[in-house]
Structure 1
């Protein structure tokens, strides 16, 4: 292999696999009272409180997958506040005894939330032109950089410009998960991307991922390379920039060079808070894979997937999108008896098809690289067993060429032809998938569990930064499963702990062509009524 960075990434992935005889390296002990602060702030920056307006939304969740466009809302501070409230804000506080913790609309591995959200606003009514950091704990924006009028005068703009940027504080995940944490940070970016996409769709807005940005440029744009503003605080790694496209707005707007000029000539404010004053461990391998998977400036964007015009299976959910997005939760356990209806199951799989004109696939609009293997336990009219859901013809060819030759690859009766679900083998697999999922019963007591297989080594060829994109796409798949489970009256949860190579051995995978990068499970939840649920922003109007 000629690319040393690609080899570092592959070595990291292999090193951080969980194995039957030992887990990936992590901390020997955890002090939950010393957990890193889940909320970043920039002390000294002007804070703009945002209103809570999501309860006013009347758009039904069903409209997000309809062929009738949602009426586009105007781009102003109220709609920005709504977008953030239904995508990356707090969704509740939980309390059990003296313990109290927050939940967010976007999920996170271990509820640790390494993902930070930034906003760039130009000519947005109610906001000064500049870069903002979003404080989820206060539902507020912090003005990090005010753009100069001189630099703004050089732009010729006919409409507002709005961007969402993401970064990751790797230590938040590494504190608990050690070396494997880099994977989970990338999952969380994918969940956040998809959450923003669903939120934007509720407002009639589209999304365009700005993949021409390299990590160094994005760090400058978001102020992440400003040593004086971080001091001893944990650094953030740049991930991705999304452009918000209201209504029929084109992708054209402020180019990267002009955005960088605005940031470099602007006035900066605020100092980052320290999240954890005492780091008991250091994981150099995370720094190594972060460096090796750096995205260069103007890297070639992946080919955009063709628009899928297949007929969408409608949802039976009548709830408003705003309410459903905010009540998403991660299941802690399942009842082991709930049977998922075939209609709900078909709808769920249908929404995993990469229709790039709909949320969330407008954020991961490249040819699909994530394909699914399902362990079906309790779905109406479908026999328990192992099934495959390739998300492209190329993916199906890879799966058939690399998985066990004895697999049957038969279509499933009662599933619409537009959904390429294939029966591999009939068998009760609850004990098997529980064992493979680090002995977690939640994978067995559900309606179905699944493994996400990535087109791995072929994707990394001469582009090691695409390692992160594989996990982003997997996160988007997970976010879709979360919401479709909620819409069906069920619940989902992501599973990051599984025994990597034993999963591959079960499927007959013998090399790095396909690798499992994320697991997920959906079922009937058991609710712990000892835990009290409190509103996310008590006293805030």
Structure 2
């Protein structure tokens, strides 16, 4: 299969990394902000949300009306800028949702009532790129996620598509948590072909600057009681305003990314399966919105232990139950975890395998494997110094359709977002790791060449980054970012 061949071709090895430029050309770095400059801009307003308890991220909440005020809160606590970092004369934005290298390849759109909007993250506003005389959608919102691979390939070369898909997984989980706190349901639109769904934002008509192609990732219903109805005939009449400011001065095109993206389109219905496992919660000193707002990627870890019940509670939240975020019904629920336990009180250090479908944690080999965890993750101390680190894996047999590779990567990104949230809820910090030596996990540890390694993650006591300065999402446009 082309998708599996792509994953194999873009593996990192200790003596050979996946193809890339091998250096960073700062003059050609793409902008992380897209703006349809001729579109009508509708400002969003930061909210003062209620102090909902931590477990409300996962449980049912009172439904809120869907209007501009609540849409503002939805974006504020899923995709907005909420801090800046300063280092000497440099300054850059930090968002609520994580991204590999802080490059943020994603773009997001919503369809609400008569209009199609692009979310402009820097200006914290909606840009109306199309408007109809009649309703385009009834009973809720349509949310669409896309990626611009150039933002990732500038640094990561042909491996960039992996990062785009993982980041989309983070977005799916982040938006699901935010929607749930508003009492909204959110569900993958799987009954229509993606070749048809991409027309909802005019992607098939869009004209891009060289190498700046935007690829379609997924569409989601967001609603209260009644699933939204899409009036497809109205979209045929729309004129889209899709002129935007060029993102980069110059760039190199990695054709493999776009060739594979084309085959990943889902053109058949899809349905997730879930396990029936009751969820329990350890208390958190932070409320749900605080946890989302304070989420950061750890720059490094202190070599400190965490408690056994905290470790097990974190793993419990990754189980594929029919609750947020997996109730979006976009996941295969076949991703499992290889765990390097470095410092967990009450659990022997060693390498473990966590079967999420069976909710089973088994020991592969006991001993101090912290140096192995470091080496697996491209010799980064994030693996060694953390309380534990994870390698997310899947058996190739579950990827019997090309589009399922995309859904597997979404699932890994969603698990990553849960791990970020759970780490923050317990006073720790997490870090997603996209650079790892794939075969050290699949072949050297699991001894199975049919296993693909999808994503890495570490959790522990963080070294605090003093450069973070919190801001409100509508303040970013006033800064030179």
Question: What interval of TM-score do these two structures reach, taking the shorter chain for normalisation?
Answer: over 0.9
Give RMSD over aligned pairs.
1.9
Total equivalences in the alignment: 477
Aligned residue among 512, 523, 535 for 2:460: 523
Q: Which residue of 2 aligns with 1:397?
A: none
1:277 and 2:262 matched: no
Shift of 1:450: 0.8
Larger radius of gyration: 1
Q: Check conservation: 1:492, 1:521, Cα contact below 8 A.
A: yes
Aligned residue among 398, 413, 418 for 1:459: 398
Question: Residues of 1 paired with 2:275 and 2:442: CA distance?
Answer: 31
Shift of 1:266: 2.3
- Once the two structures are superposed, the pairs formed by residues 34-433 of structure 1 within 5 Å of their partners are 34-53=28-47, 55-66=48-59, 69-122=60-113, 129-149=114-134, 160-228=139-207, 230=208, 232=210, 234-246=212-224, 249-251=225-227, 253-255=228-230, 258-259=231-232, 261-279=233-251, 281-296=252-267, 299-302=268-271, 304-306=272-274, 308=276, 310-336=277-303, 338-356=304-322, 358-364=323-329, 366-393=331-358, 419-433=359-373
| 1:213/1:93 CA distance change after superposition, 3 Å | farther
| 1:275/1:191 CA distance change after superposition, 3 Å | same
| 1:498/1:364 CA distance change after superposition, 3 Å | farther
Q: Which residue of 1 aligns with 2:441?
A: 503
Shift of 1:254: 1.3
**5+ residue gaps, structure 2:** none
| 1:539/1:64 CA distance change after superposition, 3 Å | closer
Q: Which residue of 2 aligns with 1:412?
A: none
Q: Check conservation: 2:150, 2:211, Cα contact below 8 A.
A: no
Shift of 1:538: 6.4
Query: Secondary structure in 2 aligned to 1:278?
Result: coil
Shift of 1:327: 1.2
Q: Check conservation: 1:94, 1:102, Cα contact below 8 A.
A: yes
Shift of 1:232: 5.0
Question: Residues of 2 paired with 1:455 and 1:473: CA distance?
Answer: 14
**5+ residue gaps, structure 1:** 1-5, 123-128, 394-418
Q: Which residue of 1 aligns with 2:471?
A: 535
Q: Check conservation: 2:274, 2:333, Cα contact below 8 A.
A: no
Question: Residues of 2 paired with 1:539 and 1:115: CA distance?
Answer: 21
Question: Residues of 2 paired with 1:312 and 1:460: CA distance?
Answer: 28
Shift of 1:391: 1.2
Question: Residues of 2 paired with 1:323 and 1:528: CA distance?
Answer: 18
CA deviation vs aligned residue, 1:211-269 (integer Å, no higher than 9, x gap): 233332222111112235x45582211110110122xx133x314xx23x222212422
Shift of 1:144: 0.7
Question: Residues of 1 paired with 2:193 and 2:150: CA distance?
Answer: 22
Question: Residues of 2 paired with 1:106 and 1:389: CA distance?
Answer: 26
